[in-house]
A and B are shown apart, each in its own frame.
Chain A
């Protein structure tokens, strides 16, 4: 167990060092066997992780990793929480008076009530899907898996459009969606900026490799 955790820590350290310090990551990995023999793999791996984190801000790839973590923790995970809150809020308000009725004097529109109630499960699932997609997006961003980030982004966009259409057709309150759209726009700009930064770092790293 300790050995597995130590290996995981060392792997994290190697990845944090980035391509600029790849040799040093390999050097740490090569010494790991000596630490295992000395029965101190955990302390060694933990130290390597601290060493990697101390180096992280000193190279462009490290700064990108930090930015990815900041975006994931500062924007995407709170957005996921917000989606889950919306789903729960939507579910709890479902028993109330239906939207889209000009005044109570007109009497309840049973067709509208039935339509709205029928749509509740699919809308709640869509909200939950949005929340899960945001969590996945945060994870993929940290992993740097850009092909899956693009797919996840498209899923979020499609879910948002579906939600807007359904809520519009069913005359549900769209005020919560307006804020969501603004937040999604900010999220989109942030992810695109990070992707462009990622490309710049990749180009720089390739140029360095070719120069060696």
Chain B
């Protein structure tokens, strides 16, 4: 139901960031910095997209010892297809500057 709706600008920003390297796992804070989205916007989006099967999440070992494991995200196949469909004209060109 949600997938039939036009994605929001914030969702497109997130799709752009995640579809740049579809096989790469991305951490939440890195996504925040890259997209310019605040945690209050990013996490509800990630939760919704995970529920819809567009994004998969996994716990990754910390880069530095003594740190907690971090949750990482990447697009599923459905997510990649959705990202392509959301921008039929080609690669996403939204930037965070465009929405500020």
CA distance A174 to B99 in the complex (A): 65
Q: Which of A1-45 contact B (CB under 8 A)?
A: 21, 23-24, 26-31, 33-35, 38, 43-45
* Interface flag for A171 (CB, 8 Å): no
Q: Are A28 and B68 in contact (CB under 8 A)?
A: no
**Does B39 lie within 8 Å of A33, measured CB to CB?**
no
Asked if B29 and A29 sit within 8 Å, CB to CB, the answer is: no
Q: Which residues of the other chain, B, contact A51 by a CB distance below 8 angstroms?
A: 39-44, 47
Tell me which residues across on chain A come within 8 A of B40, comparing CB atoms.
Answer: 46-51, 54
Q: Does B71 contact A (CB under 8 A)?
A: yes
Judge whether B38 and A47 touch: CB under 8 Å: yes
Contacts of B67 in A (CB 8 A): 33
Q: Is the CB of A30 within 8 A of B68?
A: yes
Interchain CB contact under 8 A, A38 and B29:
yes
Is there an interface contact between A24 and B68, defined as CB atoms closer than 8 Å? Answer: no
A residues in contact with B42, CB < 8 Å = 47, 51
Main secondary structure on A side of the interface with B: helix
Q: Say yes or no: B39 contacts A28, CB within 8 Å.
A: yes
Bound CA span A3–B47, Å = 26
- B28, B38, B44: the one contacting A27 at CB < 8 Å is B28
When distances are taken between beta carbons in the complex, the residues of chain B under 8 Å from A47 are 38-43
Assess whether B69 is interfacial by the CB under 8 Å rule: yes
* B84, CB-defined interface residue at 8 Å: no
Bound Cα distance from A21 to B57, whole angstroms: 13
Contact residues in B for A44 (Cβ distance below 8 Å): 29, 32, 39
A46 smallest CB distance to B (angstroms):
7
Q: Which A residues lie within 8 Å of B69 (CB)?
A: 30
CB-nearest residue of chain A relative to B50? A24
Nearest opposing residue in chain A for B43, CB measure: A51
Chain B residues, CB < 8 A from A29: 68
Within 8 Å of chain B (Cβ to Cβ): is A55?
yes
In whole angstroms, what is the CA distance A55 to B43 when docked?
10
Is B96 in contact with chain A by the CB < 8 A criterion? no
Additional A-B contact list (20), CB under 8 Å, known A43-B39, A46-B39, A46-B40 = A21-B47, A24-B43, A27-B43, A27-B57, A27-B70, A27-B71, A28-B39, A30-B69, A30-B71, A31-B29, A31-B70, A35-B29, A38-B29, A43-B38, A44-B29, A47-B42, A47-B43, A49-B40, A50-B39, A51-B47
What are 24 A-B residue pairs whose CB atoms fall within 8 Å in the complex? Answer: A23-B57, A24-B47, A27-B57, A28-B28, A29-B68, A30-B70, A30-B71, A31-B27, A31-B28, A31-B71, A33-B67, A34-B27, A38-B33, A44-B29, A46-B40, A47-B38, A47-B42, A47-B43, A50-B39, A51-B39, A51-B44, A51-B47, A54-B40, A55-B44
